[in-house]
Amino acid sequence: MKWKVWGLLAGRSRMDKSMATYLDGMGESLVIPHTMFLLRGPATVVVDTSFESPEIIKAAYPQEVWRSPEEHPLALLSQLGVRAEEVMMVICTHLHYDHCGCNTAFPHARVLVQRQEVEYALNPTTKLMQREFFSPAGGFQPPFDRAQFQLLNGDQELDNGLKIVHLPGHTPGSQGVVVDSVRGRLCLAGDLIMVQENFDDEVPVGLHTDVDAWHRSHLKLRGLTDWVVPSHDLRIFSGDDRICELA
């Protein structure tokens, strides 16, 4: 059975474009979606869970970020007929605050994450990454519950047409999900691919821990998948749509 895949626009923020495209677009403003993904097939799976709330984010890490009530993760899932209690698996591509902020909204889910990512998230090497991870090393309260985690060590083939692939570069433990979908083999690569230019033109993301690792992961990704869905690119959504059917 092939998977169906949706992208859900679960909030927005504004940042300098060069955070998405390394050394390119400095000084240009870019509005990005905080995209989570729903997979339906042999099971109901969520990939990434956006941020907790704009108020919590702005209080801890001042920035321009917003979300309408209709863009809350549970409201979006409800539009597709999915209840939080149905979701038994959440896959976090990495543990930045805007990818794991609503993990605990899925009370029955195990959360698949790389062991290396958890270790780094608890003690990042820079103040910037302490903020991005809401790390206790920087005095923050992480949004995730470690009791939900199922820790992975590198690539892992799941038994249902999904494959987890380790894709370091944006963070040390970043991972992607290769999906055997109704439209072919696609990858949700997290912030390794924030905008389409990262994949098509081999432009690294500006926010990274290791740009050489990013390039190695990009090369690995090209051999794994037919197409990649970027994590923070408004162009995947049409007009005012908050939900896009990808496959």
pLDDT at residue number 47: 98
Query: What's the rounded mean pLDDT across residues 232-236?
Result: 98
pLDDT at residue number 75: 98
Tens of pLDDT, residue by residue over 65-87, are: 999 999 999 999 999 999 999 99
pLDDT at residue number 171: 98
pLDDT at residue 112 tops 90? yes
To the nearest whole number, what is the mean pLDDT of the chain? 97
Three-state SS for the chain is CCEEEEEEEEEEEEEEHHHCCCCCCCCCEEEEEEEEEEEECCCEEEECCCCCCHHHHHHHCCCCEECCHHHCHHHHHHHCCCCHHHCCEEECCCCCHHHHCCHHHCCCCEEEEEHHHHHHHHCCCCHHHHHHCCCHHHCCCCCCCHHHEEEECCCEECCCCEEEEECCCCCCCCEEEEEEECCEEEEECHHHCCCHHHHHCCCCCCCCCCHHHHHHHHHHHHCCCCEEECCCCHHHCCCCCCEEECC
pLDDT at residue number 226: 81
pLDDT at residue number 159: 79
pLDDT at residue number 1: 80
pLDDT at residue number 165: 98
**Which band of pLDDT confidence, cut at 50, 70 and 90, is reported for residue 134?**
very high
pLDDT at residue 158 tops 90? yes
**Which band of pLDDT confidence, cut at 50, 70 and 90, is reported for residue 126?**
very high
pLDDT at residue 5 tops 90? yes
Proportion of the chain above pLDDT 90, given as a percent: 96
pLDDT at residue number 141: 94
Closest CA to 173 of 122, 113, 90: 113
**Which band of pLDDT confidence, cut at 50, 70 and 90, is reported for residue 33?**
very high
pLDDT at residue 28 tops 90? yes
**Which band of pLDDT confidence, cut at 50, 70 and 90, is reported for residue 60?**
confident
pLDDT at residue 219 tops 90? yes
